[in-house]
Amino acid sequence: MVLLFLVFILAVFFGSVSLRQDDLSAKELARRAKRSQAYKLRLRRQESLTSLIVMARLGTWIFLILFVVLSTLWFGWVGGFFLSLLAAALYPVCTRMKVASTLSTKLYVKVEPYLLTAAEKVPWLWRFFHGRIADTFGSERVFASREELSESIAASTGILTDDEQLLLANSLSFRDKKIKEVMTPRGVVQTVKKDEFIGPLVLDELHSLGHSRLPVIDGDIDHVVGVLHLRSLLSLDVRTSESAEKLMDPQIVYIHEDDSLQKALTGFIKKRQHLFVVVNSQRETVGLVTLEDVIETLIGKKIVDEDDVHDDMRVVADEKGRSNNNSPNGTYL
């Protein structure tokens, strides 16, 4: 009777052992294992998790079957049947008891080194049984770093489309990108002076620049006083001309070049504007950033606008910059 009770307890032990995936992925554990023995053990446990689960399931089945066999041998078919029925009813209750979980965890910690060794010695044996035993451990993943999440996204080909992968990857790096990385640089910014008269001919020239909005300046680009919305001027009377100052939108939003694109996007939504003037710490104009620039960075694709003449104004700025300070007698340190 004592042996029968011991067999039942062992079945409960194997059934109470909690074996779940580590909160960290194998790659993240491998990174941390280089600096910590504790993470080396966690990595080893994670790599042998499937084998450990198979051992636990086999242990449960073996001892439950042994309990039925011993009950039948000692108490006959009738007595063994009712005793096995009682054990079947008590088993799930016992495995869910806190005391069973606590004791099984303590015992498992002591025998785990031997189980890990067995898992690593004959992995083919546990793989054989694994194909015949359903996994019951949780599949929920918790990502511990952005790098880990990025790697998972990159490895999700076949699950996510290319566009979905690109959007998720860009979203992860979005808040770290600075405005100066995507803005139209100062050297290629087209402007309109506030006292310039806007008539049909001038308006046609402005449209040919390939922008739907142009900053209006008072003297130079470091004194932006408004924004001229060219599309709103399509109905301009052909017989009259107005100064840019009267036609412009005087609402100007300035943003620092080192601010994040996340801040810029929030600002565009809050201010209901499509163009910000980018300044440095001395409040000098260093460029322009548009809502279109921010959205393109987020989705990873170029937004085609009928007003666009150049695909990328930063490329234009680089080409133009090659002729700046290019004296044959000059030397760069």
Reading the block at residue 34, the tokens are 């280089």
The pTM of the whole model exceeds 0.85: no
Winning range, highest mean pLDDT, from 218-227, 238-247, 298-307: 218-227
Q: Residue 136: which pLDDT band, with cuts at 50, 70 and 90?
A: very low
**Would residue 166 count as lying in a domain?**
no
Q: Residue 234: which pLDDT band, with cuts at 50, 70 and 90?
A: low
**Residues 184, 241 within the same domain:** yes
Please count the other Cβ atoms lying within 10 Å of the Cβ belonging to residue 112: 17
Write out the H or E segment, with its range, that includes residue 331: none
**Residues 303, 198 within the same domain:** yes
**Would residue 172 count as lying in a domain?**
no
Give the structural domain span for 90: 2-130
In the chain, pLDDT over 90 holds for what percent of residues?
10
Q: Which of 130, 155, 171 is the last residue of a domain?
A: 130
Distance CA 165, CA 152 (A): 10
**Residues 208, 119 within the same domain:** no
**Would residue 204 count as lying in a domain?**
yes
Per-residue pLDDT tens over the stretch 182-193: 898 988 888 889
**Residues 111, 7 within the same domain:** yes
CATH number for the domain that contains residue 282: 3.10.580.10
Reading the block at residue 219, the tokens are 């003297």
Higher pLDDT, 295 or 83: 295
Of how many residues is the chain composed?
333
Query: In terms of Cα–Cα distance, which of 22, 61, 54 is closest to 119?
Result: 54
Is the pLDDT at 144 greater than 70, yes or no?
A: no
Residue range 214-219: mean pLDDT, rounded: 89
**Residues 29, 119 within the same domain:** yes
Long-range (24+ apart) CB contacts under 8 A made by 28-36 are 28/144, 28/145, 28/147, 28/148
**Residues 111, 188 within the same domain:** no
Is the pLDDT at 306 greater than 70, yes or no?
A: no
Distance CA 232, CA 208 (A): 16
Dihedral, CA of residue 104, residue 110, residue 112 and residue 118, to nearest 10: -120
Per-residue pLDDT tens over the stretch 19-64: 777 677 777 778 888 888 888 888 877 777 777 777 778 778 788 8
Q: Which of 130, 165, 192 is the last residue of a domain?
A: 130
Q: Residue 180: which pLDDT band, with cuts at 50, 70 and 90?
A: very high
**Would residue 124 count as lying in a domain?**
yes
**Residues 91, 193 within the same domain:** no
**Residues 184, 63 within the same domain:** no
**Residues 206, 118 within the same domain:** no
**Residues 194, 316 within the same domain:** yes
pLDDT given for residue 143 in this prediction: 57
Give the total number of structural domains in the chain: 2
**Would residue 160 count as lying in a domain?**
no
Query: In terms of Cα–Cα distance, which of 192, 222, 219, 213 is closest to 289?
Result: 213
**Would residue 240 count as lying in a domain?**
yes
**Would residue 71 count as lying in a domain?**
yes
**Would residue 56 count as lying in a domain?**
yes
